[in-house]
Amino acid sequence: MGGASSSKQAAQSENPTFFTQEELNKLKSDFVTGGVEKVKPLIDKKVAELDNTELNIAVTGETGTGKSTFINAMRGLRSTDVGAAEVGTWETTMKPTRYPHPHLPNVCYWDLPGIGSTEFTAGRYLKEMKFERYDFFIIISACRFKENEVKIAKEIKRLGKNFYFVRSKIDVDFYSIRKEGKEINEEKELKYIRNDCVRKLAEAGIPTPTVFLISSFEQDRYDFVRLNEALENDLPNAKKSIFVLAFPNRSVEIIQKKSKELMKRVWMLATLSGAVGAVPVPGVSLACDISILVGGIISFRKCLGLDDASLQRLANSTGKPVEELKAEVKPPLLGKIDKNVIMRLGWGATVVAISAMELGLDFVPVIGSIFGAGSSFLMTYKILNDALKDLTESAERVVKVAFGID
């Protein structure tokens, strides 16, 4: 995480996080008049808000465009995994079907019935899909966008919500061309496909549309990463955070982005620990709330894909033995997290003088360097900060081994 100065610079660019300026001002005034006990309710509320924020993403398009495959890809699942959306060349979705994220159940993808199927005409579709419940829409086509997709886009726009045109199965297009023995310039072909889609949408009444060209099986190619970045950038703070944490672990860059989001939560959990007061562990003079530490580390581990279920899914999808991936996780962060693990993580903190300046905490909203060395806030902050750093490094090593990244 670097020294105090680098931590300060990074944090200053990120804060205030999850709080409005009005809320930050209230935190400051409450702290001055009532100390940490008085700021605890608002921070409690923010932590609960982050835990309970829902993100509902609708995926719609004609039958056979790859909606289910896309939903599985966005959740890091294969079609054979437990909880995966059913994949087929026929109409597999007859009503809006909810698919929660494997470890962030408040992030839900909704597979909507194919537009224009015999069961759902476009007019009836608009009435029955309950568009108001969704945060944004992915409109998928495996060929050219047609009248039905345009009707859906216009209705979404009328509701004041965002929509994104996705042209899927680009890999299938290129495979078919090559099977015919034709030479192909991928860059030129991609430009042609994109321009064709944009032109047709513009002619149908969608001004300056953006179209993302993707393959759900080759997520490191074409526009898959660019699509995720666009979705992320258009979301408000709390929803943006959980969307980032829901990314499948495909690269070191994704791990680092997740770690940055989780770091925003460390000071809030540390403040709650400081409000609760010292709950010592027998044999070790840890001035922290153990339940906050245990819960925080378990949550960080899941978000970084280091729990057993996530590691097994990654092993299945990459063909790597799960034991090989687990070998990259730094002990004692693999396995059960309990007070004994916290004791080992915190042992060094009990014998090293801790100061707010050492940890670069002068950036923290409200708290600053007010707490003295050895306070519950500082102790919890240090343990969570160190655990997140170790988990991040472990997750980076796991991804490198899983995908053969140098």
For the purposes of burial, counting CB atoms within 10 Å of the CB of 113, is it exposed (0-12), middle (13-18) or buried (19 or more)? buried
Using the predicted structure, report yes or no on whether residue 373 has a pLDDT greater than 60. no
Note the pLDDT of residue 123.
Answer: 62
> Which tens digits make up the pLDDT trace of 101-131?
998 999 999 998 876 654 555 567 767 788 8
Using the predicted structure, report yes or no on whether residue 406 has a pLDDT greater than 60. yes
Note the pLDDT of residue 8.
Answer: 35
Percent of the chain surpassing pLDDT 70:
79
> Which tens digits make up the pLDDT trace of 342-358?
777 765 554 444 554 45
Note the pLDDT of residue 274.
Answer: 66
Note the pLDDT of residue 325.
Answer: 95
> Which tens digits make up the pLDDT trace of 215-225?
999 998 999 99
The domains found in the chain, sorted by start residue, are 4-52+249-403 (no CATH), 55-242 (3.40.50.300)
Q: Which of 58-62, 146-150, 223-227, 236-240 has the highest mean pLDDT?
A: 223-227
Q: Which of 33-37, 248-252, 345-349 has the highest mean pLDDT?
A: 248-252
Confidence of residue 55 (pLDDT cuts 50, 70, 90): very high
Percent of the chain surpassing pLDDT 90:
41
Confidence of residue 370 (pLDDT cuts 50, 70, 90): very low
* Closest among 190, 170, 215 to 70, alpha carbons compared: 215
> Which tens digits make up the pLDDT trace of 170-182?
999 888 888 888 8
> Which tens digits make up the pLDDT trace of 188-204?
999 999 999 999 999 88
> Which tens digits make up the pLDDT trace of 225-246?
999 999 999 998 889 999 999 9
User: Structure pTM?
Assistant: 0.83
More confident residue, 364 or 5: 364
Using the predicted structure, report yes or no on whether residue 74 has a pLDDT greater than 80. yes
Using the predicted structure, report yes or no on whether residue 39 has a pLDDT greater than 80. no
Q: Which of 295-299, 336-340, 374-378, 398-402 has the lowest mean pLDDT?
A: 374-378
Note the pLDDT of residue 286.
Answer: 55
Using the predicted structure, report yes or no on whether residue 287 has a pLDDT greater than 80. no
More confident residue, 17 or 257: 257
* Closest among 365, 370, 296, 287 to 333, alpha carbons compared: 296
Q: Which of 60-64, 320-324, 372-376 has the highest mean pLDDT?
A: 320-324
* Closest among 170, 174, 108 to 141, alpha carbons compared: 170
**Average model confidence (pLDDT) across the chain:** 81
Note the pLDDT of residue 215.
Answer: 94
Note the pLDDT of residue 16.
Answer: 45
